[in-house]
Amino acid sequence: EADIYQTPRYLVIGTGKKITLECSQTMGHDKMYWYQQDPGMELHLIHYSYGVNSTEKGDLSSESTVSRIRTEHFPLTLESARPSHTSQYLCASSERLAGVNEQFFGPGTRLTVL
Amino acid sequence: AQSVTQLGSHVSVSEGALVLLRCNYSSSVPPYLFWYVQYPNQGLQLLLKYTTGATLVKGINGFEAEFKKSETSFHLTKPSAHMSDAAEYFCAVSDRGFGNEKLTFGTGTRLTIIP
């Protein structure tokens, strides 16, 4: 079944640790996105990719980095986690249907940095 | 730049009552419009979208939305609320044409259903 996966679903980690949030999709979509979502607030785009070896920063500045070496994989890395990074991170991918890019979301990773 | 306003961060309705969630956009050119639903501890799921044509759009789970250009609105409705409708709802827009890959989201409306 075509889908989009995120691991881990929940992560509690200490300050200064390096972490990687995984995102994979089996739909063959070229475009992928990372959003940051704080409680009760809208989603903010922090990174996106239009294909392999393509990555761009989003509207919200983030200390995280991303890579896109394979079409299906779009991991997000924080080199040194801080409490301010505590948030929910949502990954999405999209396909163009009748001229409209429809985004499909993963279940999210809830990150807590102590 | 696009912006989306969702009036009411929290909406409570009784089971069986009408659900109305409001969304207004700011753009001189009507954008593509979307409503997404987010259940607790889950990602977002597309409810419906408006691109062109008929202004009343039907989506999943009995929801529908009407695009009103004169009011720059895209309000979401459901005639009869069900307990399973309790969730967070997000309105989103994207530009038409090339470069419309990015979505701009509203701040969301939390819908509570009263038994």
State residue A1's pLDDT score.
60
Cβ-Cβ contacts under 8 Å, B90 against chain A:
42-43
Out of A40, A94, A105, whose CB is closest to B44? A105
State residue B41's pLDDT score.
82
State residue B33's pLDDT score.
94
Interface test with B, best of A89, A102, A104 (most B CBs within 10 A): A102
Cβ of B22: how many Cβ atoms within 10 Å?
Answer: 17
Report yes or no: A31 at the B interface, CB cutoff 8 Å.
yes
Give the tens place of pLDDT for each residue, B1-45. 678 999 999 999 999 999 999 999 997 788 899 999 999 888 899
- Could you give the dihedral angle defined by the CA atoms of residues B47, B51, B57 and B59, in that order, rounded to the nearest 10 degrees? -20
Closest-CA distance of chain A to residue B38, Å: 10
Closest chain A residue to B88, measured at CA: A40
d(CA B51, CA A102) in angstroms, rounded, equals: 11
Give the tens place of pLDDT for each residue, A30-61. 999 999 998 777 789 999 999 999 999 988 88
How far from A85 is each of A46, A58, A68, A77, B109, CA to CA, in Å?
A: 12, 16, 22, 11, 24
State residue B1's pLDDT score.
67
pLDDT exceeds 70 at position A6: yes
State residue A107's pLDDT score.
94
State residue A69's pLDDT score.
96
- Alpha helices by DSSP H, chain B: none
Confidence of residue A2 (pLDDT cuts 50, 70, 90): low
Cβ of A54: how many Cβ atoms within 10 Å?
Answer: 12
Q: How many CB pairs under 8 A join A and B?
A: 60
Out of B9, B43, B49, whose CB is closest to A90? B43
Report yes or no: A54 at the B interface, CB cutoff 8 Å.
no
- Could you give the dihedral angle defined by the CA atoms of residues B36, B39, B45 and B50, in that order, rounded to the nearest 10 degrees? -20
Confidence of residue B59 (pLDDT cuts 50, 70, 90): very high
State residue B100's pLDDT score.
63
State residue A96's pLDDT score.
78
Whether B46 and A102 lie within 8 Å, measured CB to CB: yes
Average pLDDT over residues A67-89: 95
Closest chain A residue to B10, measured at CA: A40
pLDDT exceeds 70 at position B105: yes
Confidence of residue B81 (pLDDT cuts 50, 70, 90): very high
| pLDDT, chain A, mean | 92
Residue B66 identity: E
Average pLDDT over residues A58-79: 93
Average pLDDT over residues B75-84: 97
Comparing A20 with B31, the larger pLDDT belongs to A20
**Bridge-based pairing state of the strands B44-50 and B32-38:** antiparallel
